[in-house]
Structures are given as structure tokens and as C-alpha cells.
Amino acid sequence: MANESSAAYRRSPCPVACALDILGDKWTLLVVRDLMLGRSRFKEFMDSLEGIPTNILTDRLVRLERHGAVEKRPVPSGVRRHTYHLTEKGEALRSVIRSLVDWGLDYEEGTEAGLEPSV
Amino acid sequence: MANESSAAYRRSPCPVACALDILGDKWTLLVVRDLMLGRSRFKEFMDSLEGIPTNILTDRLVRLERHGAVEKRPVPSGVRRHTYHLTEKGEALRSVIRSLVDWGLDYEEGTEAGLEPSV
């Protein structure tokens, strides 16, 4: 795990491959989407339509934080509660999300843009 | 498998989720990248730096073809040989690939743009 964020972990120096080493699965970019929609609490991510399993959500938030795309902030009134927020590196994924939104809307029948008003 | 390309398979009507149902793994978009770089033969994909396993490459090409992003063309002189090409739907992934290239170059140290001159 210690090497996962280092060059030693990488499959190649290709920026697409390096991006997919972090983002390449069915769930990570959905968490990023939720963060872009203003969701910040663990339960809010759980409540998304896709029904992300708890253990996968925990893993993806840890991974995004370890790679500097998400930061965790304590909730002042909460005991051991946190909210999650995109860093500049995470915000920079907006064009990736937008491209996926456009592609889905253009080519996958039955997709609905209305669900993602602010991405 | 028969339902995989239908709405019944989908986790939600969100275009990002629908796109990731097809593209969300560590390998599929690398095959798309290779196709955008002009590679078209099975062996050319195998020879990419990341070393995609044969069974995964076969699976991803079949999936991309089933979802209408790739088309297979017979090689006139070859017995049971084919080349693979992006359809319009596959070509439309160029902005996704470009966004991932930009993000990787901007935020992942040690990535090299020179490997992907024409994407």
C-alpha cells in the first residue's frame, strides 16, 4: 500500500494509465461526482442511487485522500465525524466528469442529465 | 450477459454511472487510448507498456464491440484475423481520454506526454 502512490506502483509513465491506477473502477468517479454535486457526508454518498457498498465507499475515500484529491474535515459538533471535500486536484477532475456526462447522454439511451445539474 | 447492454443492467440513469458500467476499470480506456493512437491489431494492444493480460484484452474488445464503441474488420489476407477500429461512439471518447491525459500530466509526477502524441 505504501508504494501505491509512488511511481513504483505505476504500470507505465502514460498519464492515462496513471490516472486509471487511481480512478479506474466503477465507483471512484461516482464518489467524485457526488462531491462535485455538493455532497460531503458519508451517509450522503451511501444514499446515492447506485447504492455503493460501505466497504467500497470507505476504501475509495481513503484512496482519494491518499492521492491528494479529497480532504477530510472534522465536524466541530461531531465526535469522530468528518465531511469530505475535493482538493484542487480533485476539482480538476471536473472535465473528466463532464466528458463522461456528455458521452453518456449522447450515446447511452435512457440516461438523464437532470440528475446532475451542477456538474 | 445478455442484459449487460440494456437499461436493466444499469445502476442508475446517471450518465456517469452508465458510462462507468462500460468503461469503469483499469484497462478499457487504455485499449481506447491505443485505438486512438492508431493501433488496430490484437498484438499491438498486447505490446503496450502496461502489459494487458490476454484474457482481459479479449474481454474488453468484446465489451467495447458489444456496446458499439469498436468494430472488428476482417484482414483480407488473414485467416480468422481481424483489426479493431473505433466507431463514432468510440471516437467520441476522445475528450474523456484528453481530460485524463491533462489530469495525469498536471497532477501525477513523472508522467510523460510524449508517449501519446496524437490523442
pLDDT digits (tens, 9 = 90+) for B22-72: 999 999 999 999 999 999 999 999 999 999 999 999 999 999 999 999 999
* Contact status, residue A54 vs residue A45, Cβ threshold 8 Å: no
Distance between CA atoms of residues B27 and B85, nearest Å: 17
Distance from CA of B76 to the nearest CA of A (A): 31
Helices A94-107 and B94-107 meet at what angle, rounded to 10? 170
Q: Which of B20, B30, B31, B60 to mutate to test the interface with A (most CBs of A within 10 A)?
A: B20
- Which chain A residue's Cα is nearest to B48? A12
What are A52's three cell numbers?
455503493
Is B113 among the domain residues?
no
CATH assignment of the domain containing B51 = 1.10.10.10
Q: Look at residue B74 and give its three-state secondary structure.
A: strand
Is A39 among the domain residues?
yes
Is B81 among the domain residues?
yes
Is A119 among the domain residues?
no
Is B32 among the domain residues?
yes
Contacts of A46 in chain B (CB under 8 A): none
Is A101 among the domain residues?
yes
In the predicted model, is pLDDT for residue A6 greater than 90?
no
Is B115 among the domain residues?
no
Contacts of B104 in chain A (CB under 8 A): 14-19
CB contact under 8 A, B100 and A15: yes
Is B95 among the domain residues?
yes
Total domains in the fold of chain A: 1
pLDDT digits (tens, 9 = 90+) for A21-73: 999 999 999 999 999 999 999 999 999 999 999 999 999 999 999 999 999 99
Q: Note the pLDDT of residue B65.
A: 98
pLDDT digits (tens, 9 = 90+) for A8-18: 578 999 999 99
Q: Which of B103, B106, B115, B119 to mutate to test the interface with A (most CBs of A within 10 A)?
A: B103
* Residue among A13, A33, A92 minimizing CB distance to B115: A13
ipTM: 0.90
Distance between CA atoms of residues B88 and A107, nearest Å: 10
pTM of the model: 0.90
Structural domain span for residue A78: 26-108
